[in-house]
């Protein structure tokens, strides 16, 4: 399923959003869900921003579908009731509300016992970005021709990679890669990570949200290339197709959000250049001191060399009589 979402105005910027979800080639059901919300009222949009989310359900075909759907619905509902005063705090609260709702359903319906879901949600507002995250779905930022993962996987192999017990390449094929250490709805409470981009978003930046059915088969560099296509919806289809070409053993979901200027132009931010350091006065003084010390050392070594030469090869003193060797005769 592919969904092309219209270009959305968020205060000073436009954001073009595309999304796609596919069951893959081995699963009969799609347990992934995704959502995108923007308040209809422009003033609400400026206050709350654009909300995007992906979720990957667990707990059997039925339980997984229900868990991911409830997560997306609850996060959207909680966000619409927020006032936008604290992006990170309100996004965290939205995921906490989803956790309580899913856990409650699991407790009250035996056929859904033990269900849970990963969830990665992001809010974009006037250059600000907040990401809330539980599980092994991911958020990336593509900027200036480079890609950076914004979230940490809450999975066994993710922990092993951070502890340097295995490499990221080994994690892709490790038989334990599907073991999630944190998920929404499994318990009455859940620890939620909240991240940011570290600086304001700018035209040319692209946000990626995706489930492990995509990032488990497609490299970061391939994600960057797909996310950099002119049309985000086309980029989503390209990435889904790439995962399917590699077997598509899991459900596959991706959301792309491209930041553009208000006139619709994309102005990619260049990769950071290495600045040439300016020498301070203290640096110049240090340099002069080093040069002076070097000259003094050179003169000292020269003097030592001359002294050593005199000791090893002594010259006769002027005016000294030559040695006289007597060979035996008598003088008269």
The 3-state DSSP class for residue 273 equals coil
pLDDT digits (tens, 9 = 90+) for 21-74: 999 999 999 999 999 998 778 787 788 899 999 999 998 768 999 999 999 999
Check residue 184 and report its DSSP letter: B
Distance, in Å, from the CA atom of 214 to the CA atom of 220, rounded to the nearest integer, reads 10
Check residue 277 and report its DSSP letter: P
Evaluate the CA torsion angle 124, 129, 132, 136 in order and state its sign: positive
pLDDT digits (tens, 9 = 90+) for 116-131: 999 999 999 988 999 9
Distance, in Å, from the CA atom of 185 to the CA atom of 181, rounded to the nearest integer, reads 13
Q: Which fold has domain 2-261?
A: Phosphatase 2c; domain 1 (3.60.40)
Check residue 191 and report its DSSP letter: -
Cβ contact 223:181 at 8 Å: no
Q: What mean pLDDT is predicted for residues 186-201?
A: 91
Could you list the beta-strand ranges (E) of 112-244: 116-125, 128-134, 138-143, 146-149, 193-196, 206-210
């Amino acid at each position: 399923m592919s969904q092309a979402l219209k270009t959305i105005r968020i205060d000073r910027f436009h954001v073009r959003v595309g999304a796609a979800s596919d069951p893959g080639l081995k699963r009969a059901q799609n347990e992934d869900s995704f959502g995108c919300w923007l308040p209809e009222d422009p003033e609400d949009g400026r206050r709350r921003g654009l909300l995007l989310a992906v979720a990957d359900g667990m707990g059997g075909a039925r339980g997984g579908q229900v868990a991911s759907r409830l997560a997306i619905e609850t996060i959207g509902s909680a966000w619409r009731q927020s006032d936008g005063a604290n992006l990170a705090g309100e996004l965290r609260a939205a995921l906490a509300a989803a956790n309580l709702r899913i856990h409650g359903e699991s407790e009250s319906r035996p056929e859904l016992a033990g269900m849970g879901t990963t969830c990665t949600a992001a809010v974009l507002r006037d250059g600000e970005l907040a990401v809330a995250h539980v599980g092994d779905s991911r958020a990336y930022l593509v900027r200036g021709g480079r890609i950076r993962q914004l979230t940490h996987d809450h999975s066994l192999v993710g922990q092993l990679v951070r502890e340097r017990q295995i490499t990221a390449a080994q994690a892709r094929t490790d038989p334990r890669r599907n073991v999630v250490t944190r998920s929404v709805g499994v318990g009455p409470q859940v620890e939620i990570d909240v991240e940011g981009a570290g600086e304001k978003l700018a035209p040319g930046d692209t946000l990626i949200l995706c489930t492990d059915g995509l990032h488990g088969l497609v490299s970061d560099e391939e994600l960057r290339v797909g996310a950099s296509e002119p049309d985000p919806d086309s980029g989503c289809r390209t990435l889904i197709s790439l995962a399917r070409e590699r077997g598509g053993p899991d459900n596959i979901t991706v959301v792309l959000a491209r930041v553009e200027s208000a006139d619709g132009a994309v102005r990619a931010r260049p990769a950071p250049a290495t600045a040439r350091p300016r020498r301070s006065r203290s640096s110049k003084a240090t340099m002069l001191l080093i040069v002076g010390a070097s000259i003094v050392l050179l003169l000292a070594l020269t003097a030592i060399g001359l002294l050593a030469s005199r000791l090893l090869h002594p010259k006769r003193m002027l005016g000294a009589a030559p040695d006289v060797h007597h060979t035996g005769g008598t003088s008269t």
